[in-house]
Amino acid sequence: MAWTVIAKNSSGSTVVLSNLGTEILNGSDLTLTDYFEYSDITDDGELKDFVQNGDLVINDGTNDLSATDGVNYLTRDNLYNDLTNHYTKTELQTPNTGNLVDWTNIANVPSFGSPKWVEPATYRVLDIAANAPSSPLAGDVYVDTDDNHYYKWDGSAWNDEGSASVDDRVINLNNSAEDIFTFDGTTWNDEGQTEDNIAIMINDDGDGKNAQYIYSTETNTWLKIADVDFDDHLNGGPGKHDASEIDVEGTYSNLPNTPTDLETTISDINTQLTEALDNNTLDGAYDEGGPGAGRVITTDAGPVVFDTDTATTAPIEIRPKSALPTTGLQDGQMAVKDGILYIYDSTRTKWLSVQREVLVFGRRRKVRNQYLNFAVGNLASNNSGYRIPRDATITAITAQLDASGTCDIHIRRNDTATNIVTLSLSNVNGAVDTSINIDISVNDFLQSYLSASNRVEDPVVMIEIAYRG
pTM: 0.46
Q: Which residue has the higher pLDDT, 428 or 258?
A: 428
207-235 average pLDDT score: 83
Average pLDDT, the chain: 87
What pLDDT does residue 238 have?
Answer: 54
The fold of the 354-468 domain, in CATH, is Jelly Rolls (2.60.120)
What pLDDT does residue 96 have?
Answer: 58
Q: What value, to the nearest 5°, has the Cα angle with vertex 226 and ends 225 and 227? A: 145
* CA dist., res. 199 & res. 171, Å (int): 12
Residues 6+ apart with CB under 8 A from 215: 178, 194, 195, 196, 197, 198, 199, 200, 221, 222, 223
36-51 average pLDDT score: 91
pLDDT in tens, 391-413: 999 999 999 999 999 999 999 99
The answer, yes or no, to whether residue 111 has pLDDT greater than 60, is no
The answer, yes or no, to whether residue 105 has pLDDT greater than 60, is no
The answer, yes or no, to whether residue 251 has pLDDT greater than 70, is no
172-191 average pLDDT score: 96
What pLDDT does residue 454 have?
Answer: 96
The answer, yes or no, to whether residue 353 has pLDDT greater than 70, is yes
Q: What value, to the nearest 5°, has the Cα angle with vertex 442 and ends 386 and 462? A: 35
What pLDDT does residue 337 have?
Answer: 96
86-101 average pLDDT score: 62
Band (3; pLDDT cuts 50, 70, 90): confident
What pLDDT does residue 99 have?
Answer: 54
* CA dist., res. 66 & res. 383, Å (int): 129
Q: Which residue has the higher pLDDT, 362 or 242?
A: 362
Band (261; pLDDT cuts 50, 70, 90): low
11-27 average pLDDT score: 94
What pLDDT does residue 106 have?
Answer: 57
- Of 13-17, 109-113, 386-390, the least confident: 109-113
With CA atoms as reference, report the closest residue to 381 among 340, 410, 405.
Answer: 410
Dihedral (Cα; 360, 361, 363, 364), 10-degree rounding: 0
Band (434; pLDDT cuts 50, 70, 90): very high
With CA atoms as reference, report the closest residue to 41 among 64, 63, 60, 54.
Answer: 60
Q: Are 412 and 446 in contact (CB under 8 A)?
A: yes
Band (39; pLDDT cuts 50, 70, 90): confident
Residue by residue, DSSP assigns 221-240 as EEEEEEEE-HHHHHTT-TTS
Band (200; pLDDT cuts 50, 70, 90): very high
251-277 average pLDDT score: 72
Band (425; pLDDT cuts 50, 70, 90): very high
68-95 average pLDDT score: 70
- Of 71-80, 195-204, 439-448, the least confident: 71-80
- Of 85-99, 188-202, 333-347, the least confident: 85-99
Q: Are 374 and 385 in contact (CB under 8 A)?
A: yes
Q: What value, to the nearest 5°, has the Cα angle with vertex 77 and ends 74 and 79? A: 70
Question: Chain centroid to CA 397: how far?
Answer: 54
102-129 average pLDDT score: 77
264-279 average pLDDT score: 77
19-30 average pLDDT score: 94
What pLDDT does residue 18 have?
Answer: 93
The answer, yes or no, to whether residue 322 has pLDDT greater than 90, is yes
What pLDDT does residue 88 have?
Answer: 65
422-449 average pLDDT score: 97
93-112 average pLDDT score: 57
pLDDT in tens, 273-310: 887 777 677 777 777 666 666 678 888 999 989 888 88
CA-CA distances (angstroms) from residue 160 to 124, 126, 209?
Answer: 16, 15, 17
* CA dist., res. 143 & res. 160, Å (int): 10
* CA dist., res. 57 & res. 66, Å (int): 7
Q: Where are the domains of the chain?
A: 6-85, 116-232, 243-308, 354-468
The radius of gyration of the chain from alpha carbons, rounded to an integer in Å, stands at 51
